[in-house]
Structure 1
């Protein structure tokens, strides 16, 4: 057995490791896990082990004669000066956050619409994050800003040290382009902050002992006044420690008027209670648990339903969007009458929505193809008008304006460079503004949409990007990607570096639209939760088998890739059906599902997977938990496991322990841990190859 990769492990683990590996995975207790020491994120031994693994992995990869060429090609695409600068539409112009080789942490900047439409936009810097990091000696990662409307002069900037979800919040003067002296400043934490007015915030954060849920998120909301220390903030709502988290609610329209304040209790990752504050006390809204208030448009309150609901003998189907007259709702939230905005058909799902000054804009999926519509409320009903954007593409909203009926859309597919389109509903002007530079030669590839049949007979769609002249003799190297969780949809997008480094070599790329995702609405997600989570893994395996059946590829030529929940997906696939694959890329993964609720933010995902502390639920989790399924006597596809030390969402121990266990089994693998970077690997010092969802 080759244990050379475990040289940094404490000597006392050797015997325990040998004993644990000799047991069946279903009986291996936590007490017999020889790699628990790797759960100590900043532990000296764990970090030494991670750094040693990094050196080995980089040594092998960088010695490959293709490495430098591929690295430089990918970097040139990612840092191209003429790539699209995505913008928001604000009162002071179009804003963008930009990173390149000279601005590694990034600059927050703005321009005008006229300048943006030109070949060489002139940008005004609002905040240089690189300069700020140097001045304050911190590894700042910019996580966005929330404005005080309607003026949008003051904002709250979220800055993470190293890319963690936990961030510091500081008040910034957008016009003066400087932090406000003695302004609001909340120290680092997983926190949610909402403006009420210029002197008042609603804040959910760590207020001290007993104020965080098991998942590590706040459940206490307080009102904080300007110049008031955190210790003097007034508690206005308290959820339950068993919740996932509680966050503030401020319903504000495009003119900046606040129509209601309150709190949202996230009971689980899919269920919530809404409470609004009234003069005579708080009121719990009579919405179903699987419903979300998603905004205001045309003087109406919008609610999205993830379950069927029948208030006042009117039935709204799962996945519907409904609305209330705002004035009626404010007068009596419990008796206001809802009306339908949109209800999906059998192969449809609401993909995105946003409001302009007077209108509502929806993007709707149909069989994983998307279109955009303008919705207008007039004379007691909503009417829909399609926006004539390019067909057979993925259309998503990238920006909308509060001051006018204007919007921007991102239009993309796997082979066509992404473009930005501008739409003015008042003048009906629709034009393409920007197109990302061509990253690879797509002339030799085509896109097919196929369906595989899963174990229970359900058809699972997937996209295949393949060479035009494919011979279907099982010889095409193919990379299969999936996610399948948290109602997140995998939609067509330009492949960029994947196209250059993978497709141009004559290879194929596949994206599987698995149950657990949101491609066909909430029901597609709910079909693969808890006791039925194995359905996601079955769907993925079915797509792999279909690729082999069609002779597009063969097990020797098939690799799999996924991150976070997708990392768990890949882990389940290669441990359940290792003979189907020859390689795997596993990014910031969940892996030890018997301990996931004790690691990072894992407890917030119990609604997705179940609770291993409950015997019945532990049994179905144990049946697929990849860490425990790594056993002697089997050969697994060689995985490349990537994690991040600063990932405070999915704990790096999942990836660390998977690699250590593979090493103990004498199995080949690569492991790389980004010492900074967080769950999205955005920290400046790290090098990588990759909501409260995983």
Structure 2
């Protein structure tokens, strides 16, 4: 790779903050009012001086004023960082490639998304057959001047005549559902509001099933608790007021419900949940008898004890992936026409995690995860031996969607050093061929993806991915390193591409992703090991990951930064309090920072499955011990901290970050900055336009580089070792 010797040579002279960090002006934080709010909880007085910052910025002028003053300070600081504009330029360069979404086939038509490179939102296209001429169906870039109105989920009807899609505005979790006539390209008059956490499920070509909440009270749309979700049927051409209630549980307003329909249109499945735990009840509606029986939802699984993931249905037979009696999941089936319907095992539990499965053609496609990386297998419908699908190294495979009888399926494969490529697999021959591969401005082979294992505080072996340029790895000298983690809600962190991370790697830094307990990388046991009373294990794992990176000579001792979002923002806040000496910089994004009040806003009530109940004494004591807002350690030297949030985040309301940042700025924590970056017309992350993503990425990298000593090489030495050539189909 041309110029890497020069890059490394410059890097080794410039990896410590004392040598390289420019002198930054002293920060004058805005004055933030402190109120004498104190509550006695389980015998302990809990001060909450910044509770007034919980108010919705839209209806609270004093909060809006505080946001404006904080942003002025942060924007001034970030704009003064010498490398900020160059990082923005490099991120933009890495993002400027044509990329495609997976093909979805319906009625002989192929639907897919495409972004030409730097469009704020991907467009949706359709074509007749694989070789047909692409036709633009939806262009979200025309929906809002600031690009912040996004196409969210979409689903063609079975015959491909209609397209149901959801619209996300300003990053909110609320969705507006609309319908397009695919044949004419014209929108229908149908419009459904107050949908959230919903599936999109067609019932023939006549209408669709969706989930919604009651209309929020005035002023409560972005902060009010979400209760009484129910499934409705919307018939095309009718107003929302005439939608039919399909399934709801008014006697249990805390339950949520989502609908699916099998590919042959015979059965509708209602999946009910209580919180964020993968513990569900299932009900089935025979759509063939709907005119006679109405929306009769017969119980299939009760008890909220296990995970059930619908694979497919054919007639009145169903296939599911479940962890019932199988912590790492297995494939089961049930025949509803049997004299006594019972679940039968099709594929037994293995050491690897069975993430999902599909039925395409007359075969099963099973997606497994081993040590947080993907591999796939193809079996006969009875589960008998088939073949392993070869993937290109450590990465993540997704897709494998299709219908019984289809001759083909498509899947995507991505890793840290390469964006997603789309592959087509011929099910008859098993031959897999590239279908859409991006042309890139760099050589993926110039970057090394490793998987390492480290030992946590209690002796648990934890995996971690480490990514560096080959030149950095070969030099065997520590460099500024960015460590990322999440550790919660049964979420598995797997390899994936990020343009911002590539800009960091190109500059000579290392990136690490730790697969902490609390996630789903090793099934139910791994999740249980990092939640509730075991939450401290997650923080111990992350601290051990940082110590390992320093000990192994990957991260420079005074140049280790950490980053995490949402539950990962909580992670960053907690470990900074516990080990402020270990980190040079920390980025806490849209984090849950007040663990004693998280359950009082929007979707926060769901999170008690992972965190516990603040109003129960045993849980309160655990939460109080690590809550980032309540455990800031006055008098200790803290790393440089950048808190990020958004005014339309109605998942983790911005009050969490507002209060945390105010408390950081009030405390005596040393000379490094404690700043908050508050995005407007943005939410928890999804739907963010490209321009905003580039700006945020540049701000974060420039801030972290400032406090870890990473310096971009001169532009003349930035290397592009050639492009990865590939087809631009479809």
Please give the range of the TM-score, normalised by the shorter of the 2 chains.
Answer: 0.7 to 0.9
User: What residue in structure 2 maps to residue 275 of structure 1?
Assistant: 283
TM-superposed deviation, 1:496: 3.6
Asked whether the 8 Å contact 2:106–2:157 carries over to 1, the reply is: no
Q: Which gives a bigger RCO, structure 1 or 2 (Cα 8 Å, sep 6+)?
A: 2
1:104 aligned counterpart, secondary structure: coil
Distance of 2:297 and 2:117 partners within structure 1 = 51
Give 3-state SS (helix, strand or coil) of 1:195's partner. strand
Whether the aligned pair in 1 keeps the contact of 2:487 and 2:538 (CA below 8 Å) is yes
The C-alpha deviation readout for 1:402-443, integer Å capped at 9, x for no partner, is 662312222233334543221111233311233333354556
SS of 1:164 mapped into structure 2: coil
In structure 2, distance between residues paired with 1:41 and 1:79: 34
Correspondent of 1:675 among 672, 680, 691:
680
Q: How far apart, in 2, do the equivalents of 1:590 and 1:453 lie?
A: 27
Quote the residue 1:311 is aligned against.
Answer: none
What does 1:245-284 align with in structure 2 at a 5 Å threshold?
245-253=255-263, 256-259=264-267, 261=268, 263-270=270-277, 271-277=279-285, 279=293, 282-284=297-299
Cα offset for 1:222?
3.8
Which residue in 1 is equivalent to 2:626? 624
Question: Aligned partners of 1:15, 1:298: CA distance in 2, in Å?
Answer: 62
Q: 2:138 aligns with which of 81, 102, 127?
A: 127
The 1:606/1:78 distance shift into structure 2, 3 A limit, reads: same
Per-residue CA deviations over 1:435-465 (Å, capped at 9, x if unaligned) read: 3333545566433322111122110011222
Contact 1:304 1:319 in 2 (8 A): no
User: Does the C-alpha gap of structure 1 residues 98 and 653 become closer, same or farther in structure 2, counting only changes over 3 Å?
Assistant: farther
Contact 1:191–1:217 (CA under 8 A) maintained in structure 2? no
Q: Contact 1:110 / 1:126 at 8 angstroms: preserved in 2? A: yes
Which of 538, 541, 545 in structure 1 is aligned with 2:540? Answer: 538
Q: Is the 8 A contact 2:367 2:376 kept in 1?
A: yes
Instruction: Return closer, same or farther for 1:593/1:298 CA change in 2, 3 Å cut-off.
Output: same
Q: Which residue of 1 aligns with 2:191?
A: 185
Q: Is the 8 A contact 2:110 2:130 kept in 1?
A: no
- 1:238 paired with 2:248, answer yes
Deviates more, 1:42-51 or 1:512-521: 42-51
Conservation of the 8 A alpha-carbon contact between 2:210 and 2:259: no
After the TM superposition, which of the residue ranges 385-394 and 523-532 deviates more from structure 2?
A: 385-394
Q: Between 201-210 and 44-53, report the one with greater CA deviation.
A: 201-210
String of CA shifts for 1:122-163, please: whole Å, max 9, x gaps. Answer: 6311022233446xx9953211222322x1212322112212
In the aligned structure 1, how far is the partner of 2:254 from the partner of 2:477? Answer: 46
Post-superposition CA distance 1:303-356 (Å, at most 9, x none): 222342xxxxxxxx222223224xx32456x732412324121xx112333332
Partner of 1:354: 358
Counterpart-to-counterpart distance in 2, 1:243 and 1:157: 27
Q: Which of 36, 40, 44 is the matching residue for 2:52?
A: 36
1:70 paired residue number? 87
Pick from 134, 150, 168 the counterpart of residue 141 of structure 1: 150
Mark the CA change 1:634 to 1:16 in structure 2 (over 3 Å): closer, same or farther.
farther
Aligned to 1:292: 308
Q: Which residue of 1 aligns with 2:344?
A: 338
The SS at the match of 1:33 is coil
Aligned to 2:571: 569
* CA separation of 1:593 and 1:60: change in aligned 2, threshold 3 A: same
Q: 1:369 aligns with which of 366, 369, 373?
A: 373
Match of 1:584 among 578, 586, 594: 586
CA 1:600/1:238 → structure 2, altered by over 3 Å: closer, same or farther? closer
**Match for residue 718 of structure 2?**
none
Query: Which piece of structure 1 moves more, 547-556 or 452-461?
Result: 547-556
State the match for 2:202 in structure 1: 195
Contact 1:297/1:359, CA 8 A, preserved across alignment: no
Asked if 2 retains the 8 angstrom alpha-carbon contact of 1:194 and 1:248, the reply is no
State the Cα distance separating 1:216 from its structure 2 match.
0.7
> For residues 28 and 521 of structure 1, what CA distance do their matches in structure 2 show?
39
* Mapped contact 2:54–2:659 kept (Cα < 8 A): yes
Q: Is 2:100 the counterpart of 1:96?
A: no
**Cα pair distance change 1:438/1:483, threshold 3 Å:** same
Could you tell me which residue of structure 1 aligns to residue 173 of structure 2?
165
* Map 1:418-433 → 2, pairs under 5 A: 418-433=420-435
Query: CA offset at residue 609 of structure 1?
Result: 0.8
Q: 1:59 to 1:521 in 2, by over 3 A?
A: same
Distance of 2:408 and 2:318 partners within structure 1: 20
Alignment of 1:47 onto 2:64: yes
Query: Is the CA contact (8 Å cut-off) linking 1:168 and 1:188 kept in structure 2?
Result: yes
1: CA distance, partners of 2:129 / 2:307: 36
Q: Deviations over 1:447-488 (max 9, x none)?
A: 332211112211001122235455898742111111111222
Does the Cα contact within 8 Å between 2:91 and 2:500 map onto a contact in 1? yes
Question: 1:686 offset after TM fit, Å?
Answer: 4.5
Equivalent residue of 2:451, what SS? strand
Return the alpha-carbon distance in structure 1 between the equivalents of residues 196 and 127 of structure 2.
32
Task: Give a deviation string over 1:242-288, Cα, whole Å, max 9, x none.
Answer: 565422434322xx3222x3533212222222223475954322456
Whether the aligned pair in 2 keeps the contact of 1:594 and 1:612 (CA below 8 Å) is yes
TM-score, normalised to structure 2, is 0.81
Contact 1:356 1:402 in 2 (8 A): yes
The residue that corresponds to 2:333 in the other structure is: 324
Structure 2 residues without counterparts, runs of 5 or longer: 1-25, 287-292, 698-730
Given that residues 594 and 629 in structure 2 are in contact (C-alpha distance below 8 angstroms), is that contact kept between their aligned partners in structure 1?
yes
Q: Which residue of 1 aligns with 2:213?
A: 206
1:84-129 CA-partner distances (Å, limit 9, x unpaired):
555434435433333457743442223466559xxxxx63110222
Go from structure 1 to structure 2 and tell me whether the alpha carbon gap of 1:26 and 1:233 turns closer, same or farther (over 3 Å shift).
same
User: How far 1:561 sits from its partner (Å)?
Assistant: 0.8
> Which secondary structure does the structure 2 equivalent of 1:689 belong to?
helix
Q: What 5-or-longer segments of structure 1 have no aligned partner?
A: 117-121, 309-316
Q: Is the 8 A contact 1:394 1:412 kept in 2?
A: yes
RMSD of aligned alpha carbons: 3.4
Q: 3-state DSSP class of the match of 2:683?
A: coil
* Map of 2:728 onto structure 1: none
Cα deviation 1:607-651 (Å, max 9, x = unaligned): 011111111111111111111111321222111111111111111
Distance 1:223 1:488 in 2: 31
Distance (Å, rounded) in 2 between the aligned partners of 1:355 and 1:638: 50
Aligned to 1:5: 29
Aligned to 1:314: none
Provide the rounded CA distance (Å) in 2 between the counterparts of 1:475 and 1:374. Answer: 43
Matches for 1:467-478 after TM superposition, within 5 Å: 467-468=469-470, 470=473, 475-478=478-481
